[in-house]
Amino acid sequence: MDRKSNWLILWFMMLLMSGCVSSAVNSRPSELRATAQQAYYAGDLITAEGLLRQALDYNDKDADSWFLLGNIYLRTQQYVAAQNAYQRAARLKPEQAEIWHNLALIHIRQATQTLLEGRRHVDDTFNPLLDWLLQVQGAAG
């Protein structure tokens, strides 16, 4: 073999190896998200959150990871964190209706909490609206 052929073979091997590394790095966030989903559906929200944070460290443009992280925060009543996660997901995937639904749900839950707190300090002025909000959440929940 001549020197040019050796360089060509070396270049081709390096190209193949770089593709393998890139593929492994790209699969890591997907694997983390998949494992996080399993933990989420098993009710292990702490593990799921940690795995999603790791996945987002690799790729912060993963709308599905932001959405699932928002779901965790919504379930644990961390509404500001949930809103931030859903807003990140919405910027990345605005056509996903579930993101907008859950953003609206956060506002409904916050309104309900506000009225419950207010009702402890004033008369029953809030009852009709509060009853309606609780009914809506029962249907949505």
Query: What pLDDT, in 10s, does the model give residues 21-77?
Result: 333 334 688 899 999 999 999 999 999 999 999 999 999 999 999 999 999 999 999
pLDDT of residue 140: 53
Q: What is the pLDDT averaged over residues 67-95?
A: 97
CA distance 124 to 129: 10
Question: Does 1.25.40.10 match the CATH number of domain 25-140?
Answer: yes
Residue type, 120: R
- For the chain, give every domain's residue range: 25-140
Question: pLDDT-derived band of residue 132, with 50, 70 and 90 as boundaries?
Answer: confident
Q: Tell me which residue of 71, 55, 61 sits closest to 92, measured CA to CA.
A: 61
